[in-house]
Structure 1
Amino acid sequence: MDPRLLKLSDVLLTYSLKIKKGDKLLISGGESTLPLIKAVYKRAIELGAYPQVDIGVEDLTEILLKYGSEDQITYTPESLKRAFETVDAVLTIWGDKNTRFLTNVDASKMKLRSRGRRELMEIFHERMAKGELRWCGTQFPTHANAQEASMSLSEYEDFVYGAGFIDEDDPVAKWMNIRDEQQKICDFLNTKETLRIVSKDTDITMSIKGRKWINCCGEENFPDGEVFTSPIEDSVNGHIRFSFPGIYAGREIEDIYLEFKDGKVVNAKAAKGEDLLLELLETDEGAKFLGEVAVGTNYGIQKFTKNMLFDEKIGGTVHLAIGRGFPEAGGQNVSSIHWDMLCDMKEEGKIFADGELIYEKGQFLIK
């Protein structure tokens, strides 16, 4: 076993999830992530926790979406609901055997799948907001994900573990330093009422009054590196063109352009995958509103890998998400989807808070 897996498992359980003796832990991942699942399971046992495992199989998901009825696709097992209602912590491990296995699935079936998981997501986010549930999502490097990133497996492993500072002597100390630096940004933004983002073919404003900025320092995503909030739902106005392809269930949507009026998407275009974009916006009423605005702060990640866990953290970018807002940030938008799209800010990007320039060309100007 790669010794970095053991080190990552310890960081995930002791720092990110703060697992203690007696905690009930749900470990969720695909069949390709079994090496990390086993390492985490072993560490959880050593810590005195009660781990249980939920393994997803890509072929079975494809069968369901291609041949299942509407009722079957939207069905969520009672056992899974019960787990989300009772466990103390959830670790989601991403890693694909085939990143394109849903490419030929009808977009309407994808919408049904998202709608069917709405109740589960509501349980999850309600318990998270109350502090009853801890969650972290991480990546296990697989051949498929390495290929998407245009890397060999060994190169991708180095990229994944490097992004989380697992190669350092004390990765936890590194993340605690990041937490302290990012908290200064959050404290500053928490005093502001309006935000304006300007970049290439982009000029969008929103109210952030009374909303809380969240410091992402390796506790809910790993690796991490962003600050985010949920904007006032009906305050978003303007337009934005996203610099990178949007990735949804392995499908790419290129050159996405959105226009907002009073919070709602009123015009949406894409050079490729526009049909899926429009289907996603029709998932439910909340899918047309923003649930998140965020700034990536991990300057150790500079390569776009078609994996939003890493891409949304790229230092010098912002990302917006349509759909579900974050209750912990004060977000009230309800939707069964939450989908991030990424905009590069390193060349022409500026961010203004209450009319003051606070960010330019990929860097905060806050002292």
Structure 2
Amino acid sequence: MDPRVDRHAELIVDRCTDVSEGDNVVLLSGPEAEDLNVALFEKIGERGGMPIRATQGGREHRSFIRAIDTEALTEPNHLDSLLEATDVLIMVRASRNVAETSDVAPESMQAFAQIMEPIQDHLEGENTDTVITQHPAPGDAQKAEMSTDGYTDFVYDAIDQDWDAQEEHQRQLVEILDPAAEVRVVAGEETDVTMSIEGNPAVNSVADENLPSGEVFTAPIPDSVEGTVRFDMPVVRHGREVEGAYLEFEDGEVIAHEAEQNEAVLTGILNTDGGARRLGELGIGMNRDIDRFTHNMLFDEKMGDTVHMAIGKSIEESVGEDNPKNESVVHLDMIVDMSEDSFIEVDGERIQEDGTFVFEDGFEG
């Protein structure tokens, strides 16, 4: 077995979560991640936890959603009961075919997402220690337009690093954003958007809920977003790739939108519920070991020299106690390239230009 798989498993059970004696552990993972599944069961056993593995996704997931009567869907109480008894949840992504649900009607996918919302709320609660990670698999490598071996190296370069050093580096941005009131993001000719983040904490995300990690994120005040954004990189939703998405905000709400490809998919997402037309997250990628776009948001949103904005649900820990939280069953991240012709301003002061931060060598301001 590749020794990097063993190290990956150790990071998951020791840093991203804290598996301890007596913990009930659910591993949500498919057969494509068999090596990591085996390593995780071993590590969990050494620490006295009790693991079970469940699968969701792939052909069976497609078959179910194509067969369902969306009007008759009910909340999966049996899954909720399982998660109530779960201390640690480890979700491993590894795809044989990343486009497996590409021929499923968007309305059916959205209906399924809506009945799963209570499950998502449970996962974000304090009682379950949760991590999402990636095992290199051929389907993901193909989507990234890389060889399987090349993609494997890419995944482990992004995952197996000095997370303590990365945390300290990112802390410098947290210290800028935490007391801030307003952020402005400008890139190219079509992105110029401002938003209030006053009273919302900046979260230093390093190998905790996601692996790989390497971002600082916060939540905009839902009705404060003004301006336009052209997202440079495509986003995959339900097996369909939306390219060139463009959003125009007024009083926090998307009042106009377009996309160069699969605009109907974007329209369907925005129409899911009221919160889907507002921003729930502003994130700044800071993991420079992720140096290329791979059509995998678990990696892409952490990429250095990028900003991502998510329409839909805000993440609980990024919303101040007395501030409004954007609610939605949707949370869709989309990426802006900040490597050139771009800057970020915080309360009128430029803190990043062409991807370089004010606290890094080469910043000119």
| TM-score bin (small chain) | over 0.9
Task: After TM superposition, give the deviation of residue 269 of structure 1 in Å.
Answer: 0.4
8 A Cα contact 1:231 1:292, kept in partner: yes
1:214 counterpart residue number: 203
Runs of 5+ consecutive residues of structure 2 not aligned to the other structure: 361-365
Task: After TM superposition, give the deviation of residue 132 of structure 1 in Å.
Answer: 2.5
2:171 counterpart residue number: 183
Pair 60,145 (structure 1): closer, same or farther in 2 beyond 3 Å = same
- Correspondence for 2:328 among 331, 335, 344: 335
State the SS of the aligned residue for 1:260.
Answer: strand
Higher mean C-alpha deviation, range 268-277 or range 22-31: 22-31
Higher mean C-alpha deviation, range 76-85 or range 228-237: 76-85
2:268 counterpart residue number: 279
Query: TM-score if structure 2 supplies the norm length?
Result: 0.94
The aligned runs of 1:212-361 (5 Å cut-off) are 212-330=201-319, 332-361=325-354
Task: After TM superposition, give the deviation of residue 71 of structure 1 in Å.
Answer: 4.5
State the SS of the aligned residue for 1:286.
Answer: helix
Take 2:344 and 2:105, find their aligned partners in 1: how far apart are those partners?
38
1:168 counterpart residue number: none
- Correspondence for 1:155 among 129, 150, 155: 150
Letter in 2 for 1:31: P
Give me the CA root mean square deviation.
Answer: 1.4
Letter in 2 for 1:293: L
2:5 counterpart residue number: 5
The alignment-based identity, stated in percent, is: 34
8 A Cα contact 1:31 1:57, kept in partner: no
Pair 69,204 (structure 1): closer, same or farther in 2 beyond 3 Å = same
State the SS of the aligned residue for 1:105.
Answer: coil
8 A Cα contact 2:106 2:238, kept in partner: no
1:16 counterpart residue number: 16
8 A Cα contact 2:185 2:345, kept in partner: yes
1:70 counterpart residue number: 70
Letter in 1 for 2:150: E
Count of residue pairs brought into register by the alignment: 355
Per-residue deviation, residues 86-136 of structure 1 (Å, max 9, x unmatched): 3222111011111111111111112112112111112222x1xxx322211
The aligned runs of 1:48-63 (5 Å cut-off) are 48-63=48-63
State the SS of the aligned residue for 1:196.
Answer: strand
Letter in 1 for 2:289: G
State the SS of the aligned residue for 2:29.
Answer: strand
8 A Cα contact 1:31 1:56, kept in partner: no
- Residues 1:366 and 2:355 are matched in the alignment: no
Take 2:353 and 2:246, find their aligned partners in 1: how far apart are those partners?
22
Query: TM-score if structure 1 supplies the norm length?
Result: 0.94
Take 2:336 and 2:176, find their aligned partners in 1: how far apart are those partners?
22
Per-residue deviation, residues 43-86 of structure 1 (Å, max 9, x unmatched): 101110122221124111111122211156x4443221112223
Take 2:131 and 2:144, find their aligned partners in 1: how far apart are those partners?
22
Task: After TM superposition, give the deviation of residue 366 of structure 1 in Å.
Answer: 3.4
Task: After TM superposition, give the deviation of residue 149 of structure 1 in Å.
Answer: 0.8
Pair 76,141 (structure 1): closer, same or farther in 2 beyond 3 Å = farther
Letter in 1 for 2:352: Y
Pair 71,51 (structure 1): closer, same or farther in 2 beyond 3 Å = farther
